[in-house]
Amino acid sequence: WDHLRDEFMSANYGLVITIAKRYRRNNGLDFKDLIQEGNVGLIKSIDKFDYSLGYKFSTYASWWIRQSITRSIADNGRTIRLPVYIFDDLRKYLRAETDYLSLHGEIDPEIIAREQNIDPEKIKRNLKASLDPISLNASFGEDQRTELIDLIENENRISPEEEAIQNALKRTISEVLSLQLSEKEQSILHLRYGIGNEQDLTLEEVGDMFNLTRERIRQIQEKALRTLRRKGAEELIQFYEE
């Protein structure tokens, strides 16, 4: 298996390079570090991929590679980083900007943002923030001994006890799903609600993985939730609907 995985890694190394290049500017990490983190995501995608579910490996791997890189930037960059969901909005906008330029020969930020259902003013603010990070190690105060990082409370940090409870909940949810739903229904709920992952996916993103439309994914998701409701998994339903 290790030999096959190494071959798979080599065959898809170019995908890691392509995605890592998108994060080269203003991220607080060297390009080689981005590639290393991308490889971590690629390994996860190889280990977790199930060809029998019918979605494309390249789409599945791309999500894991992006997730691994953006998480590393958010966690290890020595600057105040934008939240990952804002990075996602910026990437979405910049891809659309490239397409718009190739079609029209010019760029109209307001039109591009609206076509992507993104507030134009918000995009302007986020673009400015992404280009002007502030060092967490910047010293200030009369004695210049205080660093900004000392004054920032990490609201996302959880205690070991909370983490243990969350992990136990995820295991319970996975066990219930495996007893009640088909493999495809399980996979869609896992991807939509981030079970076992750090980030949930949109209907469109899950649809790309399964080569299905956004509406079809929504129908399968709703059917799975109805099945859980009929079989008495009310607590699980409440978890999904919150």
The domain segmentation of the chain, as residue ranges, is 1-79, 160-241
pLDDT at position 131? 44
Q: Is 78 helix (H, G, I), strand (E, B) or coil?
A: coil
pLDDT at position 150? 43
58 token code pair = 């390249």
Beta bridge partners of 147: 139
Q: Closest Cα partner for 212 from 76, 82, 56, 91? A: 56
Q: Is 173 helix (H, G, I), strand (E, B) or coil?
A: helix
Q: What's the rounded Cα separation, in Å, for the pair 230 and 223?
A: 10
pLDDT at position 215? 93
pLDDT at position 119? 83
List the CATH code of the domain at 160-241. 1.10.10.10
pLDDT at position 216? 93
How far is CA 241 from each of CA 63, 119, 214, 216, 232, rounded to the nearest angstrom? Answer: 24, 26, 19, 19, 15
Q: Closest Cα partner for 67 from 23, 98, 31? A: 23
Q: What's the rounded Cα separation, in Å, for the pair 75 and 144?
A: 25
28 token code pair = 């607080």
Helix crossing, 203-210 with 183-193: angle to 10°? 140
The helix (run of H) or strand (run of E) holding residue 204 is helix 203-210
pLDDT tens digits, residue range 68-80? 887 777 666 544 4
Under a CB-based contact definition with an 8 Å cutoff, are residues 70 and 22 in contact? Answer: no
| pLDDT-flagged residues of the chain (< 50) | 78-81, 105, 131-161, 165, 198, 235, 237, 239-242
Is the full-model pTM beyond 0.75? no
List the CATH code of the domain at 1-79. 1.20.120.1810
Annotate 87-108 with b (16+ C-beta within 10 A) or e (fewer).
Answer: bebbeebeebbeebeeeeeeee
Under a CB-based contact definition with an 8 Å cutoff, are residues 41 and 69 in contact? Answer: yes
pLDDT at position 161? 47
Q: What's the rounded Cα separation, in Å, for the pair 44 and 63?
A: 11
